[in-house]
Chains A and B, each alone.
Chain A
Amino acid sequence: MPPRLQPQRLPQPSACQCLRSRPQAVAEPHVFSRSFHKSPAALERNKEAGKAPVRRKTLLRRDMDAWLAGPGFRFRRSSPGSTNYLSAYDKEGNMRRWPEREEATQRARETEDAREAEVVKQEEAEGVDEAERASRAAVRAEARAKRIAEARIPPKERLSDLYPFPLNQAFKSEAVLSEELREELYRQVVVRKMDLQGVSAAYGVDMRRVAAVIRLKTIEKQWIEEGKQLAAPYNEAVLAMLPTTPLRQDGSNMVAHESINDLPVHPATRQQLFYPTSESRNFTREDAAKAFSPSLLPADKRIPHPQLVQLERWNAEDVSRTERLNRFAEIEEKEHAAAVEKERKQKEWKARTQRTVQGRRWDFKFQDISAENVGKDGRSSKGVGHRYGMPHTERKRGEVKIPTSVE
C-alpha cells in the first residue's frame, strides 16, 4: 500500500476561492524563511545580514491585488449606460449578458485606428500645415474616444444583473424615478393642481413618494431661484449608476414605478386560524377579516387606493365611462362634505367645552378635563398637570436624550 498523503501536506487552498483571477495550477514561488519583522529598519537589517529577501505582501494581500487588477477592474469606473453590480459579471470578470464585450470594443478600436490612419494619410497628401493638423487630430481623437465608448455600451440589464449582493437573492437594486418623471409629477401636482391620489394612480408611484418628490422639488426650485449651487455632477453620476423608471410621454405603455396598492400585513393576521363554517356559506374577504379580528377591515378598504377597486367594479358592470366618472365625483363630493362637517363639529365641540377669558396680555383658556387621561402610571402627557408634582426621570442615569421627532 502506498504511503498515504497527509492532508496537511496538500497545498492549502487560499482564502480567495470564488473569484480567483490567478490560475490555481501555477505554484507561487515559495519563500521558506518566515519574516516576522517587516518594518523598514528590519528590512534593512535583513539586507545587511545577507538573509533571504523578505516578502513584503502576504498571500492574501496579493490575491486581493490580483483580483482588483483582474476581475475587479470592471468596478473601478461605472459602466456607461448601465448599472455595474457584482452579479452582472462572472468569476473571470466577463459581463454575463454580453460576454463578447471586450472583443467588440477591440474591434471598434481597430476600425477607428484604421480610419484615423486613412485620414492622416489624406491630410499629408493635401499638405495641411502642422499646427492645423494637430488641432484637427485633437478634435478627431475626442470623437473617436466617444465612438469607442458608445461601442462599449452593453444591452439593457436583465433581472439577474441587478443584485448588488451575490449571496442575497432577495435584495434587488430597484429603479428610482428619473428626473423627467420627477419633473412631470411636480408639474401635475403643483402646476395642474391634480390631487395626489390621482397622480399616484396614473403614474404608478406611491402616494407618499409623490408627496416627497414634490417637497424635494420645491426646495430644488427654491435653490435655483436663490442661485444656490446644486450638486448637478453628483446627480448626473448617481442617476447614471442606478436603474431608473423613465417617463413615457404616450400614456399607453406607462410602466408602473412600484406597486401602489400595498396591503400591510396586520398583526392579527399573522397567526393561522382554524375557523369552522358551513360549506354552503359564501365566505368573503370581509368575513375572513372579521374572523381574524372584529375590528379588522377587509383588504379592499385597507389598501391606499380603494377608489380603484370601486371604479373597476363599475367597469366590470359595463357602466359607461362618463357615468363612472360622475359617480366617482359624487362619492368624492360626499367624502369632502363629510370631512367639512367633521371639522365643523370639532370646532363646535371646542367652543362648547372651552371657555376663553380675555386677559390684559393673554387669553386664558379653560377646558373641561377628564381625570382618567393621566393613564395607568399617572405620567401620560395627555393628563392634566403631568408636569407638576411628579419627579422627572430625565436626569436619571442612562436616560436617552435623543429626540424622537423633529417638527
Chain B
Amino acid sequence: MPRKYHALKVPKVRQDWSKWNLYNLSRIKTPNASKLSFFQQKWAAKSLARAYHNPYVREGQWTRMFDRRLPAVVPMNFQYLARNDGSEQASGRGMGLEEEDAHEMGRSEPGRRKLGMGMAKKSTPYMHMAFYPLERRLDTAIFRAMFASSSKQARQFVTHGWVKVNGKKMTYPGYLLNPGDMFSVEPERVLFATGVQKPVQQKRGAKKAAAEGEEAEEGQEEVNEESTEEPSEQTEVKGSDSKEAESESAPNEADAVPGPEEALKALKKLRNRASHIMEGSKAELTGRRRQELRSISKTVRATMTRFGRRDSKDPEGQSVEELTALLNDIVSKIPKEHLPATEKTSKSEEGSAPKSSNPQAQDPEHEDEYKAAKDAQLLHQALQRARENPYDPSKPYRTPWMPRSYMSAFAFIPRYLEVNQNICSAVYLRHPVARPGIAEVPTPLSAETMGLAFNWYLRRR
C-alpha cells in the first residue's frame, strides 16, 4: 500500500478519477534514461507501472501472476482469405509482390489495402500488455466498467458485499474472472461512486429526513414493504412536478393504505414531501408554484386535523373514502387531457415556446387554455426527468444525480468488457489482447516504459 497516493513531487498515475490524478496524468513524462543504468531504468519503469497497475496486489503475488507470453490476435479479412490461399505471400522474390507488381497485376492501391495486405504495417504493441493478468481481477474489472471511481473503491465494494458474480455474492477482490462471467454492482453504490458528492445542506437534510422517517416508522411493521417504499421513492420529486407526482402516487397510496392510521401516515408523508420540495429547490421555484405547493400542504394539514377528530369516533371506512376524495381533488387540479403529452411533441413545443408565447398570450380567449397546456407539458417533462433522477435527501450522494467532476477525462470502457449501465452489470467477454496498433490493457505509460517494466519481471534481470 503506497504511503503517498497522489504525490505531487514524484507524480504517480493511479487507477483513480480524482483531480490530483488528472493533474499528474497531464504532466507525467517518460523518465529520462540518459543518466541511468539499465537496472535503474528498469526499476524506475517498474515502479511507475506498478503504481498504476494495482499496488494493492503484493509484489510477490504479482510476480507469480506475471506471464511473459502475451496474448494477441490478428484481425483477418474474410474476403482476402477467400481470394488468396496464402501462396501469394511467397510470390515474387519470395516475400510477396511489391507495390508496382501489384499495380501491374491490376490491383490498385486502395484495393490492395482493402484486401488486408497492408495490415502487417502496424506493429502489435505487446509491451503494453505486460500487466494483462491483473485486468482479470474482479476489482480492476469493476473499475474498468466505470462502476467505481477508483480500483480501491471497487475493492471496497467487493469486500463489503455489494458485488455479485453470476448472481452470487463474491467478496474476494482477487477473484480472477473467467470469460463469460457476469459481474454486477449494486446500482445505489454505483451512483454513489460516480455521482457528485453531497453538499453540506443536503447532508443535513438527509439527517432530518432520516429522523422523520424513524418517527413515522414507529409501529409500522405490519404495513407491507411496497407501501412504505413507494412514497419514499417519490419523496424526491422535485420542483414544479411535485403536484403531479403526488397525484401519481395517490392511487397507489390509496390502494395500499388500509386503515386510518396508515392513511394519516401517508398524509404526513405527503406534507413532509411538499415541505422538502420547498426547502430543496427554493431557487428554482417560481412564486406561483410555491403558492400551489403551500396550498397543497395546507389542505393536507386541514384534512389531517379532520382525520384526527374523526378518528376517535368513526370507523376506518369513512377515513379511507375521505383520503381518496382528497387525492382525487389534487389530481383534478391538473388539466387531464394534456397529461399524456408524448416526448416528441413536448420537445418540439419547448423549442418553439419562447417565440410563440407572445402572439398567443395576447389572445385573451386562448390564453388560459394555452397556459394550462404548456404547464401540463412542462410538468410532464419535468416529471419524466424527476422520476428517473429525483431529488432525494436520503441518498448518500447529491440528488438529482450528476456525474462527478473530472469523470469524462477518464471515461472509457475497454473492449473485453460488455457493460449495461442501466442495471450496473457487465460481462467479462474474454481476456484482453493486443492487435496491430492497439493494446487493450489501459495503461498511461509509454511503450518504452512498459517495455522496461516487462523486462524487470522477466526471470533474469
Chain A residues proximal to chain B, CB less than 8 Å: 15-19, 58, 60-61, 63-64, 67-68, 71-72, 75-79, 83-86, 131-132, 134-136, 138-140, 143, 164-174, 176-177, 182, 206, 208-209, 212-213, 215-217, 219-220, 223, 229-235, 237-239, 241-242, 258-259, 261-265, 267, 270, 282-288, 298-300, 303, 305, 308-310, 312-313, 315-316, 402-407
Contact = CB atoms under 8 A, between A and B. Distances in A.
B128 interface: yes
Contacts of B36: none
B25 A86 contact: yes
Given A174-B414, A176-B413, A234 B191 contact: yes
Please tell me the size bucket of the interface on B.
35 or more
Contact of A238 (B78, B79, B421): B421
B423 A72 contact: no
B430 interface: yes
B71 A164 contact: no
B11 A15 contact: yes
Contact of B433 (A166, A264, A298, A303): A264
B237 to A, nearest CB: 14
B446 A19 contact: no
B335 interface: no
B178 interface: yes
Interface stretch (B149-157, B255-263, B295-303, B400-408): B400-408
A405 B178 contact: yes
Contacts, number: 282
A265 B431 CA distance: 13
A284 B194 contact: no
Given A238-B146, A262-B74, A167 B28 contact: yes
A208 B180 contact: yes
B357 A406 contact: no
Contacts of B288: 135
A267 to B, nearest CB: 7
B438 A171 contact: yes
B286 A64 contact: no
A72 B23 contact: yes
Given A233-B400, A238-B421, A212 B427 contact: yes
Nearest to B145: A238
27 contacts: A60-B8, A78-B407, A83-B408, A138-B286, A139-B354, A143-B350, A143-B354, A166-B26, A167-B30, A170-B437, A171-B128, A171-B442, A173-B411, A212-B418, A212-B429, A219-B420, A230-B423, A233-B191, A233-B388, A238-B403, A241-B408, A242-B413, A259-B75, A261-B76, A262-B433, A404-B178, A406-B165
B172 A403 contact: yes
B77 to A, nearest CB: 7
Contacts of B28: 167
A237 B81 contact: no
Contacts of A86: 22, 25-26, 409
Given A167-B30, A305-B78, A406 B409 contact: no
A284 B87 contact: yes
Contacts of A300: 81
Contacts of A239: 421
A379 B445 CA distance: 43
B113 interface: no
Given A213-B418, A229-B187, A231-B424, A170 B408 contact: no
Contacts of B412: 85, 164, 173-174, 242
Contacts of B75: 259, 261-263
Contacts of B420: 182, 213, 216-217, 219-220
Given A83-B411, A213-B418, A285-B86, 13 more contacts: A17-B29, A78-B408, A140-B354, A176-B419, A177-B418, A208-B180, A219-B425, A232-B389, A242-B411, A267-B69, A287-B86, A298-B86, A312-B78
